[in-house]
Structure 1
Amino acid sequence: MAEGTSRTAPSRSREGRIPEGARQHLGSELRSYYASMLAEVQPSTLLELIARLDGAPYAREAADFRDRLLASLPGLRAFALSLAVNHAVADDLVQETLLKAWKNQDRFEPGSNLQAWLCTILRNQFYTDIRKRKREVEDADGTMAGQMVASAAQEANSELQQVKQHLAKLPAAMREALLLVGAQGLTYEDAAELIGCQVGTVKSRVSRARALLARSLGMDTRSTAL
């Protein structure tokens, strides 16, 4: 029995831990991937939507709030892409988020983090959509993930596209936590606050996501640590 235990324990340890070199390389890849999302040209449909919000209610403060939405758009869309991966799905999420934010701007607390508020609205919508899809189609692994991979496979097979394709195969909750911490640089505490879960949950998701992604990218995940 002791012999069996000695074989099992290291295996579980390796599953959640990867060597420091692989971890740093993976972090660099994730940051490059996130930077590429931030650098993308924002869709004209979203820019035009924000411009049209000028004539909506709350006219006295509308211009300032609209400008802040515009400034938040690259980060918001990058967050949507980190969740949905598929550009069409992400843009739909951003559009819905902008409309909800505008309609409920009186609920935004002045002086607080607008980007975090917008991301919370977006992620709530994302998981609402997932629940709707699961009610419509039984798919334990997520129908959306399959659609993302199919879409990504059509794109150029560059190193970043490989990262994107393998990210799409991760469960959404793991992908979200990994990109918030590993790409955006949020602390575990800040990520937990945005997601609405315990810090330990975020750490576990990030650790498992790192290991899964590193292995799928062909990195050496053998750790010499005890």
Structure 2
Amino acid sequence: MQQRNNQTGFTEIELLEHLPALRNFARRFHASPTDVDDLVQETYLKAIANAGKFQRGTRLRSWLYTIMRNTFCTKFGLTKREDVGFADDTALQVSVPPPQEWNLRGHELERAIADLPEHHRTAIKMIFIDCMSYEDAAQKCGCAIGTMKSRVNRARLQLWTILDGG
């Protein structure tokens, strides 16, 4: 699709040429790479949806920056709104269970993890206790990422069955 679309005034290639600049601009709003990617993606979605509003002869990058800035400001404003009347309502406050039960459940979890097969126990430890990424854990174990995810999933199912009597 190298030709200009008569309705939009820009091509998909022209749109994608601005991807690195948009990523850099999005980093001003977010530190997290995931949030940066989400903001860029939402900007592109809005640009495509509103392509008919783009005026030929104007700068596409500036138009995309404006969409991104407005998208961020709208989302930021929504997250800053507070729920009126909920903070002081004691009926909505969650009761705290006695610490003895958490202590008991912690010991049950330790025993359940100890009863897992070695490769499942290792996967749970690496992912949930050591906070390793699936990629790093798979590399350390010498297996594929899918295998590591499968081991974690099977271990979680076994733990759920043991702890909840499922």
The bucket for the TM-score relative to the shorter chain is 0.3 to 0.5
Higher relative contact order (CA 8 A, sep 6+): 1
Larger radius of gyration: 2
Give the alignment's TM-score, normalised by structure 1: 0.33
Name whichever structure is richer in helix by fraction: 1
